[in-house]
Amino acid sequence: MGPVCKEYMDVCCKEPTENTIKPVPMERKGCGQRHPNGVGFRITGHTSSEAEFGEFPWMVALLKLNTLEDGIDLLVYQCGGALIHEKVVLTAAHCIPKKGDDSNIMARAGEWDTQRVKEIFPYQDRMVVQTMIHPEFNGGNLWNDFALLVVDKPFEFSPNVDTVCLPPPGIVALSKECYASGWGKDQYGQKGQYQVILKKIDLPMVPNDQCTTLLRKTRLGQYFRLHKSFVCAGGILGKDTCKGDGGSPLVCPVEGKPGTYQAIGLVAWGIGCGDLTPGVYAGVAYARPWIDKTMTELGFSI
């Protein structure tokens, strides 16, 4: 029996020779490239709710940098987000600690297992230097729950760090094969636990009129009206985003482009977690005009 590595990500290798073949870098195919089989390896013995390493390369963890009294810096997970440009993260406005306050927020791309540093491709950390909140964002009901975060230097594209595509403005076709990802709780309430490995959930889109009908059966009451800035997905028992997933992207396939995904929504709110009531997401297609206008003002293009 050969030597056993201390870290599960380590591989015992032979001594290099002159005939050693150097790995060929992956060719970047553009935005929205999901890696359902992972990057570099596949995990075994996992549950279907765990994402493969590098499966969603646009996934970003937003961390709050807190300095303790003894001078030690502590990173606290806040929300998720999606990389839409090498210097811009799209997330939910309700994830920003204070309206327009970008101080001490770190964006981490390429993260997967939050308890380990050593992975095939490292995560990348950038500090947020500018925050753009949708001008019509309402913190009470989360209408127009959109924010763009500009980082101090560009992320370097790699197999586990890349951008997601954005849908065109207007109505988005309702897909049955969408995915939400994040490190949020696995269930509602005190028993829920935050995830160590990035989780994924397959969810169908739900038409807004049907979503409104289902939400009216909850404590929201019969007069509830779903705002036009929202879209819905889920409503399947045991499958849902939950607390801590705020701002994380809901992605759906781009029609006519197999393997390519676009961010249809951002986790906004819901009634409980994992029951038969759909989750509510900030609809990216609705915000596309504001996103494009803001990106142009910042000097960026998508």
Summarised one tens digit per residue, pLDDT across range 135-146 is 999 999 999 999
Q: Report, as an integer, the average pLDDT of 129-140.
A: 96
Q: What's the CA gap between 128 and 70, in Å, rounded?
A: 24
Map residue 138 onto helix, strand or coil. coil
**What is 178-285's CATH number, 2.40.10.10, 2.60.40.10, 2.30.110.10, 3.40.605.10?**
2.40.10.10
Q: Report, as an integer, the average pLDDT of 33-47.
A: 72
Residue 287, pLDDT score? 98
**Dihedral over Cα of 261, 262, 266, 271: its sign:** negative
Summarised one tens digit per residue, pLDDT across range 226-272 is 999 999 998 776 554 655 578 999 999 999 999 999 999 999 988 76
Chain region(s) in the chain for CATH 2.40.10.10:
59-163+289-298, 178-285
Tokens, residue 273: 């977690």
Of the candidates 99, 97, 110, the one whose C-alpha atom is nearest the C-alpha of residue 61 is 110
pTM, rounded to two decimals: 0.84
pLDDT grade for 188, boundaries at 50, 70 and 90: very low
Residue 98 has pLDDT above 70, yes or no: no
The residues that bridge with 250 in the sheet, in sequence order, are 180, 265
Q: Check: CB of residue 148 under 8 Å from CB of residue 129.
A: no
Average pLDDT, the chain: 84
E strands, the chain, are: 59-67, 73-85, 88-91, 105-109, 124-133, 147-151, 178-182, 199-203, 205-206, 230-234, 249-253, 261-269, 278-283
CATH superfamily of 59-163+289-298: Trypsin-like serine proteases (2.40.10.10)
